[in-house]
Chains A and B, each alone.
Chain A
């Protein structure tokens, strides 16, 4: 049977964003996969060099709408490292609060889309309904549902006031989460669809340098919150869920358990927020010259920023988002699977292409799209 090249994208119902996957099929079976990135490339690493420090933070939040706070935190922490700034404990706890509520909202968003990919639409409605609780908390805390700009150099802009309304939202979130979890665990339909699909062995996970829940689903224990603690993660009591299955189901369970751990951290913060100042500096306009790196645990994995600070603006910035590390394993996961598994496998790593499209590489010598032979 002749091999057929099947395009997935750039505009495909299974992908939320414009991105192109080329799948070569022999009958129903996949023999080769290639992908073409760069549809969301917005020249951000170059444009940020024109912004003064305060504007640069808000601009870098726009790398991605889902993990906005992960990017601003990595950048701010790196610049604070260059300048040797102290961050007050209250600000550290508030930063952790922002990062964890973002993780919950991102994982619930992903869970809904993942359920929809498998043709299980009730999960989409339930988890997006639960996500609104997280967004309500964010709106009360950061002022907005998306692109909540609470990060400032040396501290935070917004204070966190644990009101009864916020605690009620947190309780609602917890209750809905338990309902969803029960449903996912009880449903053989979902488990059968996801078990054994897109398997990554622990050796492969290490070889490909996977990060975040994708690696933790394959039994690799890496979490920046434990390995290189930042913010106030050392002071909180939480565990890192690890599953050994390596398939889509294991990755789903890692994310489900992470939501529970994040809710635990949120409760600890709401109950025991230390008193004190919000920022250590009044304004930040001039930086010392120097370089620094910072990794933070974004919802999808390790998010790495390298900053070379000039006086008034950044001089150089390099971002390595988590999806960039995880994307390379997709051809390996799809090897020998059926065409109908493509949306499930692609969405099982929770790809965020808005984050990933930092750099485009154009091969001038060979204009045709090359196929990765497996």
Chain B
């Protein structure tokens, strides 16, 4: 009972301030640009608690971009496994969703709860909306 309450409180605050890690598995840079631009001063999601972090071990949410190239996808899987549970994933761009124009041979990463942002590359506003949606979907049961 007590643990459940603590978890609820944890999740309440986690939803309020997602720390985001950008993981690219081999791309044209377009989606990374727009993800960075989404965290730049024009939109400035830091005023609402969301920020980019440098280490996967600090992250709550992973922005996954890229089509999964042969060399990068295995390394990306290892980095992804370092993100602590509970984690949630947002697939950004057509490449991360279905391979896009490149149709790379490597396996693409999945994740526990997936929110997809379509586009090549998507608009920063759409990326921010998706982050908000993904954090709302995040519940206790994913622990």
Query: How does the 8 Å CB contact mask read for A127-153 relative to B, with 1 for contact and 0 for none?
Result: 011011001000000000111000000
Which partner residue on chain B sits nearest A44 by CB separation?
Answer: B102
Looking at the assembled complex, report how far the CB atom of B53 sits from the nearest CB atom of chain A, in whole angstroms.
9
Q: B30 contacts A65, CB within 8 Å?
A: yes
Q: A147 contacts B69, CB within 8 Å?
A: no
* Chain A residues packing against B (C-beta within 8 Å): 10-11, 13, 16-18, 38-44, 47, 59, 62-66, 68, 109, 112, 124-125, 128-129, 131-132, 135, 145-147, 352, 354, 360
Q: A147 contacts B32, CB within 8 Å?
A: no
Chain B residues near A128 (CB-CB < 8 A): 36-37, 40-42
Q: B42 contacts A146, CB within 8 Å?
A: no
* CA A147 to CA B75, docked complex, whole Å: 27
Query: A13, A39, A42, A146 — which one has the most chain B CB atoms within 10 A of its CB?
Result: A42
Looking at the assembled complex, report how far the CB atom of A314 sits from the nearest CB atom of chain B, in whole angstroms.
16
Complex A-B, nearest 10 residue pairs according to Cβ-Cβ distance, in ascending order: A65-B30, A13-B54, A128-B40, A65-B29, A39-B72, A129-B41, A354-B29, A146-B30, A42-B102, A132-B42
Contact of A145 among B32, B34, B79 (CB under 8 A): B34
Asked if B133 CB lies within 8 Å of chain A CBs, one says no
Q: A146 contacts B40, CB within 8 Å?
A: no
Contact of B71 among A39, A64, A65, A135 (CB under 8 A): A39
Q: Write 6 A-B pairs (CB below 8 A) sorted by A numbering.
A: A38-B71, A40-B27, A41-B70, A41-B71, A65-B30, A65-B32
Chain B residues near A135 (CB-CB < 8 A): 37
Asked if B104 CB lies within 8 Å of chain A CBs, one says yes
Q: A18 contacts B31, CB within 8 Å?
A: no
Which partner residue on chain B sits nearest A40 by CB separation?
Answer: B26
* CA A65 to CA B33, docked complex, whole Å: 8
Chain B residues near A16 (CB-CB < 8 A): 24, 29, 32, 36
Q: B28 contacts A354, CB within 8 Å?
A: yes
Query: How does the 8 Å CB contact mask read for B69-107 relative to A, with 1 for contact and 0 for none?
Result: 111100110010000000000000000000001111000
Chain B residues near A18 (CB-CB < 8 A): 24-26, 71-72, 75-76
* CA A129 to CA B32, docked complex, whole Å: 17
Looking at the assembled complex, report how far the CB atom of B9 sits from the nearest CB atom of chain A, in whole angstroms.
30
Q: A65 contacts B40, CB within 8 Å?
A: no
* CA A62 to CA B33, docked complex, whole Å: 13
Q: B121 contacts A146, CB within 8 Å?
A: yes
Q: A17 contacts B69, CB within 8 Å?
A: no
* Chain B residues packing against A (C-beta within 8 Å): 23-34, 36-37, 40-42, 54-56, 67, 69-72, 75-76, 79, 101-104, 120-121, 123
* CA A10 to CA B27, docked complex, whole Å: 14
Which partner residue on chain B sits nearest A12 by CB separation?
Answer: B54
Q: Report the tally of A-B residue pairs with Cβ distances under 8 A.
A: 105
Looking at the assembled complex, report how far the CB atom of A358 sits from the nearest CB atom of chain B, in whole angstroms.
12
Query: B27, B33, B56 — which one has the most chain A CB atoms within 10 A of its CB?
Result: B33
Q: A42 contacts B26, CB within 8 Å?
A: yes
11 additional contacts (CB under 8 A) given A40-B26, A65-B32, A128-B41: A11-B56, A17-B27, A17-B32, A42-B28, A43-B104, A62-B30, A64-B28, A132-B40, A132-B42, A145-B34, A145-B123
Q: A147 contacts B70, CB within 8 Å?
A: no
Chain A residues near B42 (CB-CB < 8 A): 128-129, 132
* CA A64 to CA B30, docked complex, whole Å: 7
Looking at the assembled complex, report how far the CB atom of B122 sits from the nearest CB atom of chain A, in whole angstroms.
10
* CA A44 to CA B102, docked complex, whole Å: 7
Looking at the assembled complex, report how far the CB atom of B43 sits from the nearest CB atom of chain A, in whole angstroms.
9
Q: A146 contacts B33, CB within 8 Å?
A: yes
Q: A62 contacts B102, CB within 8 Å?
A: yes
Chain B residues near A39 (CB-CB < 8 A): 26, 69, 71-72, 75
* CA A167 to CA B120, docked complex, whole Å: 28
Query: A16, A112, A125 — which one has the most chain B CB atoms within 10 A of its CB?
Result: A16
* CA A135 to CA B56, docked complex, whole Å: 30
* CA A39 to CA B27, docked complex, whole Å: 9
Q: A11 contacts B79, CB within 8 Å?
A: yes
* CA A197 to CA B37, docked complex, whole Å: 29
Which partner residue on chain A sits nearest B40 by CB separation?
Answer: A128
* CA A47 to CA B34, docked complex, whole Å: 25
* CA A16 to CA B54, docked complex, whole Å: 10
* CA A68 to CA B76, docked complex, whole Å: 25
Contact of A66 among B29, B40, B55 (CB under 8 A): B29
Which partner residue on chain B sits nearest A51 by CB separation?
Answer: B101
Looking at the assembled complex, report how far the CB atom of A15 sits from the nearest CB atom of chain B, in whole angstroms.
10
Chain B residues near A360 (CB-CB < 8 A): 71
Chain B residues near A354 (CB-CB < 8 A): 27-29
